[in-house]
Amino acid sequence: MTPPGPLPAPSSPPGPSGVLPGAPDGPAAPYQRLHPLTPLMRGWAVVAAVLFFVARNLRDLAQDITPGRVGLGLLVLVPAALGYGYLSWRFTRYRIEDHQLRVETGVLFRRIRHLRLDRVQSIDIVRPLQARIVGLAVLKFDLAGGEKDKSTLEYLSTRQAAQLRAELLARAAGVEPTAGEAPERVLFRLDTGRLLASIALSLTPWTTLGFAVLLSLPLLLAGSWAGLFAAVPVLLGVWHTTFSHFAKEFSFTVADSPDGLRISAGLLEHRHHTVPPGRVQAVRIEQPLLWRRFGWARVKINVAGKDNSGTLLPVGSRAEALALLERVLPGVRIDEVALTPPPRRARWLAPVFRSGSGCGADDLVFVSRKGLIRRRTEVIPHAKVQSLALTQGPLSGWLGLAAVRLHSTDGPVKVVARLRDLAEAERILAEQAERSRIGRRADVPARWVSGRLPSTGTEQEHPPGQKPEPGPA
């Protein structure tokens, strides 16, 4: 990981209630249109969808398909698809109006959307393969209230998308709209060789391949090819899963910036999104059995209001994982949190699971560790706990055991303290409720630019009572 250095800062923070002191209040900018190649991209998507439907139902449609009908269908379909693409492009326009982005769409029915910048949680740049070929990109907005799927601009040129994103983030942060893209500092870049090695050392593809061999080998030894045909779908599934994993995490990069952690990755579809400051709700560090020999780990996160909650670190050293954990949860050091193992009688319920399990808390976070084959350490800040629950099953109740669940936002991380003594579980529940209440009271609301970059030892000290200036968006 690259040692961090200081980042420049603007002159004024965002004002309250969405008031942006740095944003101009003059006349609105003129309307802009999407890229001229948008009709071609949208028309191609319609043609591809129809062809996929025909191919999927080819067996039922085989008798009705002839070369003449195919040619006639394409003669009608292609102009209609291009016409639809042109009309949708012609009636779509957008412009920036002070503290919001106004987007107008619709051919028969006009629809106007106002994307308020004070509700923006992140702005992502997505470049699908077909868009990358012609130099286009999609701008996706995460808005408070779950409006993400309806808030996109597709397609823009790559440069136009980057410039528009930078201007919107600058306005949201209250700095000059012409400030440009905020500076960034690369913290982690995944090496392709390590990515391939991590996939090869994963148990899932090898387990699936073993199942395929067990399925096909007896029949092959008996002289029947039916086993091979039965194994083909399994092998194709392994290939699809493995290649998807590789393509999704190819060229994975994490960079630090005043507007949050910027994550970019992708072989076929390149995605660039930002995890804003203070939006990480829970973290999990995974260490599969075969990875532990090399000291590798994976980091998963839950991010408030985002569907792309998921991977913060696909595979890296444990030191890199802990360093990224401290970037998203400043001041947290999980190795210093004392963990209490489950009682000995828990071995009757989970003899393997009990080994290496434990839970504990400090002033900032609650930590739960479990797993022998896949060791997982789950961390949730007290201020981010949304609710608590104590659960018991029939067997755990008979043994006097219980589980405490600390609920976060939707995502891959589920924080649970399992196999606890019932009295201990009730005590954890009461203590955690009090810690969460105190934590929420002291928590600072998340903003695009918080200026609370984690201390690295290189920043200058600020006089008492004087807050550091926030960085640019």
Task: Tell me phi and psi for residue 291, to 5 degrees.
Answer: -75, -25
- Which of 406, 442, 409 shows the shortest CA–CA distance to 144? 409
- On whether residue 261 sits in a domain, the answer given is no
For the record, the structure tokens of 86 come out as 């042109």
Query: Coil, strand, or helix at residue 98?
Result: coil
Scanning 222-259, the segments in alpha helix (DSSP H) are 226-249
* pLDDT at res. 204: 81
* pLDDT at res. 372: 81
- On whether residue 455 sits in a domain, the answer given is no
Q: What is the rounded CA–CA span in Å between residue 369 and residue 380? A: 12
Residue 57 CB coordination number (10 Å): 10
The answer to pTM > 0.85 is no
How does pLDDT run across 38-77, given as a tens digit for each residue? 888 888 777 777 777 766 666 666 566 667 776 777 787 7
- On whether residue 13 sits in a domain, the answer given is no
How does pLDDT run across 85-133, given as a tens digit for each residue? 888 888 899 998 878 899 988 888 888 888 888 887 778 899 988 888 8
Boundaries of domain holding 55: 28-181
Answer with the one of 140, 165, 181 that is the final residue of a domain: 181
**426 and 316 part of one domain:** yes
- On whether residue 91 sits in a domain, the answer given is yes
Please, which residues bridge with residue 366 across strands?
361, 380
**167 and 312 part of one domain:** no
The amino acid sitting at 128 is P
| DSSP classification of residue 202 | -
Q: What is the rounded CA–CA span in Å between residue 259 and residue 262? A: 8
- On whether residue 138 sits in a domain, the answer given is yes
Count of structural domains within the chain: 2
Check if the beta carbon of residue 452 is closer than 8 Å to that of residue 330.
yes
Q: If you average pLDDT over every residue of the chain, what do you get?
A: 80
Give the H or E element holding residue 325. helix 318-328
Q: What is the rounded CA–CA span in Å between residue 324 and residue 461? A: 23
- Which of 172, 126, 131 shows the shortest CA–CA distance to 472? 172
| DSSP classification of residue 278 | T
CA pseudo-torsion sign 322, 9, 115, 82: negative
**158 and 288 part of one domain:** no
- On whether residue 188 sits in a domain, the answer given is no
- On whether residue 127 sits in a domain, the answer given is yes
The amino acid sitting at 22 is G
- On whether residue 38 sits in a domain, the answer given is yes
How does pLDDT run across 370-425, given as a tens digit for each residue? 988 889 999 999 999 999 999 998 888 898 999 999 998 888 999 999 989 999 99
* pLDDT at res. 13: 41
Answer with the one of 123, 155, 181 that is the final residue of a domain: 181
**Residues for the chain: how many in total?**
473
Of 12-26, 187-201, 247-261, 301-315, give the lowest mean pLDDT range: 12-26
Q: What is the rounded CA–CA span in Å between residue 198 and residue 317? A: 12
Check if the beta carbon of residue 350 is closer than 8 Å to that of residue 371.
no
Instruction: Tell me the average pLDDT across 347-360.
Output: 80
Answer with the one of 181, 202, 217 that is the final residue of a domain: 181
